[in-house]
Amino acid sequence: MRRFTLFISLLFLTTAALIAQPQFELSRNVYRLPYQAGITVTVNQDHNTHDPLGRYDLKGSGNGIDCSINYPIVAAAEGIIRFIVDNHFEHGPDCTSNCTDNNNYVWIEHANGEWSKYTHMKYHSVTVDAGLSVGDQVCAGTFLGYECDIGQATGPHLHFEVRHPNDPANIQITTAGGFMTDAAHLIPVINSISKHYLEQGDAWIASGSGVCTSTSVNLVLPTAIPNNGIRIYLATGTITNTPGISFTFQNGANGMFQAAGSVTLSPGFTASAGSYFEARIGSCATTNIPGACN
């Protein structure tokens, strides 16, 4: 099993730039798309367009107005199931009261303290079809149940989010709807697509294997990542920038370089005050509990 061997965090902030820093930081875990491999997944809403912010609406390609096409939902990373509700059966279009309260969902806690949520699941597909229970350990790609539109939903889709509790010893999940309070939303780093983050309008094919950008990345062109911009590179070997060529994360930008070999930042690279940038040494694997998953 491949896993992180070293973590290096470079955080560039000043007190005066706090207002401009990215609203959401990148996840420290690397996730796969939470659908069975081979399914085309459309991003209907992302962390900037979803109401409320910080969440994602994903949809299996071709699903119509009901849940007759059962797109399998899978765990986005290894972890332990902490909450399951899948006893509700009222579909969004037919829902008349307490629609948000009657969501079906799964919460998974990951080894690094992040949690992922999967909402609007089909009635009894988690406990019966997948045969899962609270406390079960799952791997990246473990079948969780089926995409549907139970509760507050307009058409079948998966509500997906990644959060980091502010107090890991006091996890707060609302009884109605299963919402996590007192926790930060994170932008999930995805190993299944070339740009490694989800954006409204994207359509990607889910993959079960880690997908790095390339063996090595050498940044050779002048680049400026603007406010609210995101740039992520995952490489199996090295990531470098060309000395003297400007590569800048501007105020409010969000970025991450992760390589299994080395990350070299030469003169010309700048992470401006108010940006959030991380350099990491690690593989593209999503497994993060040693020995638990192959």
Domain 31-189 has CATH 1.10.760.10: no
Bridge partners (DSSP) listed for residue 106: 84, 118
Tokens of 157: 């889709």
* Average pLDDT per 10 consecutive residues for the chain, totaling 294 residues: 40 45 88 93 92 89 75 95 94 76 93 96 96 96 94 88 95 91 95 90 85 86 94 94 96 94 96 93 66 63
Domain boundaries, the chain: 31-189
Phi, psi (rounded to 5 degrees) for 263: -120, 120
Tokens of 140: 């990246």
Tokens of 75: 């765990």
Residue 11's pLDDT is what? Answer: 44
How far, in Å, CA of 26 to CA of 19, rounded? Answer: 17
Residues 6+ apart with CB under 8 A from 131: none
Report yes or no: 147 and 155 within 8 Å, Cβ to Cβ: no
How far, in Å, CA of 221 to CA of 210, rounded? Answer: 27
